Amino acid sequence: MKQLTLIKSKHSARKSKEDRIFDIINISVLTIIAIIVLYPLYFVVIASISNPDRIYSGDIWLLPKEITFEGYIRIFQDEMIWLGYKNTVIYTVLGTAVNVSLTLMAAYALSRKDLVGRNFFMLLFLFTMFFSGGLIPTYLVVKNLGMVNTIWAMILPKAVAVWNLIVARTFFHSNIPDELLEAAKIDGCSNTKFFMKVVLPLSKPIIAVLILFYAVGHWNSYFDALIYLNDEGLYPLQLILRNILIQNEAAANMVGDVASYAAQRRLAELIKYGVIIVAALPLLIVYPFVQKYFVKGALIGGIKG
């Protein structure tokens, strides 16, 4: 008996040692990955408040030097930045509301076994994941519908993401039992009332996931605006950011009152770094609080389907 206990204790000790080694390796690898991911963002933060000359010379890599907030002052004085913020908030809120509403309704209908031809409709949705009409035909459709240079060009062409539809459909299929619908019908509940009064209150996790997925997509979107919008008054923040980083258009307007060309270039560099932080800050603040929903969304789509 003592020998058996001794063997078990040795086995536990050996297993515990292996676990400790695994934890050390795991933590070390994850720490390195975190540094690789976070350092570029940290560098942009310190570069946005440092002297650009020190950045060019390679003196700045850990702490800011010769701190200045001139770049941020110029950014917040520019009307286009605030206009871009307003447009992006409108596109994000309105677009997410449309996306989530249509996705939930379509996903619930496709999860119902009594829907005639649901596999055929699902196949049509899946087909669009692999094949599309292309950029030019899509643009012609949007143009013929009269949506070019309107906010609807930023919302309706991508009203439903097929992957999010699959995730929501899987959630409904796994978490809304048929017996619940049968009990509701016995009480005289219609399909619409069942969806509004029963399904939606039970679907708060997937609703949160869809809101996050769609909101992040709208906030970061700039390509649709680049294709469909000509009026600068409708530009989202990300497109204005692109003009600053790539074409230097907005940056040139912000530093036009500086006489020296060298000073203009230094200030333009501060503005480039600063506008990245200004554009990413809302998501950076929100994401730590909602990260668990992103993970849960991936699990919902991967467990069953």
Amino acid present at 298? A
pLDDT tens digits for range 20-36: 888 889 999 999 999 99
Residue ranges of domains in the chain: 2-47, 70-303
Residue-by-residue DSSP string for the chain: -HHHHHHHHHHHHHHHHHHHHHHHHHHHHHHHHHHHHHHHHHHHHHHTTS-HHHHHTT--SSS--S---HHHHHHHH-HHHHHHHHHHHHHHHHHHHHHHHHHHHHHHHHH-TTSTTHHHHHHHHHHHHH----HHHHHHHHHHTT-TTSGGGGTGGGS--HHHHHHHHHHHHHHS-HHHHHHHHHTT--HHHHIIIIITGGGHHHHHHHHHHHHHHHHH--HHHHHH---GGG--HHHHHHIIIII-HHHHHHTTT---HHHHHHHHHHHHHHHHHHHHHHHHHHHHHHHHHHHHHHHHHHH--
If you average pLDDT over each of 158-172, 257-271, 285-299, which comes out highest?
158-172
The CATH number of 70-303 is 1.10.3720.10
Question: Of 152, 283, 301, 299, which is closest to residue 212 (Cα–Cα)?
Answer: 283
If you average pLDDT over each of 51-60, 74-83, 285-294, which comes out highest?
74-83
Question: Of 96, 71, 83, which is closest to residue 276 (Cα–Cα)?
Answer: 71
Inter-CA distances, 22 with 16, 216, 270, Å: 10, 35, 43
pLDDT of residue 4: 47
Contact yes or no for 178/113 (Cβ under 8 A): yes
Determine the Cα–Cα distance for residues 72 and 285; give it in Å rounded to an integer. 18
How confident is the model over 49-66, as a mean pLDDT? 80
pLDDT of residue 98: 95
pLDDT tens digits for range 74-119: 888 878 888 888 999 999 999 999 999 999 999 999 988 888 888 8
**Residue 154 token pair:** 């930023």
Contact yes or no for 47/273 (Cβ under 8 A): yes
For residue 305, is pLDDT > 50? no
pLDDT tens digits for range 229-258: 988 889 998 888 887 777 555 555 555 555
pLDDT of residue 15: 61
pLDDT of residue 20: 84
Largest CA distance in the chain: 90
Ranking 100-109, 139-148, 182-191, 231-240 by mean pLDDT, the lowest is 182-191
For residue 272, is pLDDT > 90? no
Residue in the block written with tokens 């570069």: 47
> What are the φ/ψ torsions at residue 131 (nearest 5 degrees)?
-135, 140
The mean of the pLDDT values for the chain is 81
pLDDT of residue 287: 75
More confidently predicted of 150 and 17: 150
Amino acid present at 239? L
**Residue 108 token pair:** 């619930």
pLDDT of residue 87: 92
Ranking 95-99, 135-139, 291-295 by mean pLDDT, the lowest is 291-295
For residue 6, is pLDDT > 50? no
pLDDT of residue 302: 54
Q: Where does residue 114 rank: exposed (0-12), middle (13-18), buried (19+ CB within 10 A)?
A: exposed
Question: Of 162, 149, 147, which is closest to residue 214 (Cα–Cα)?
Answer: 162
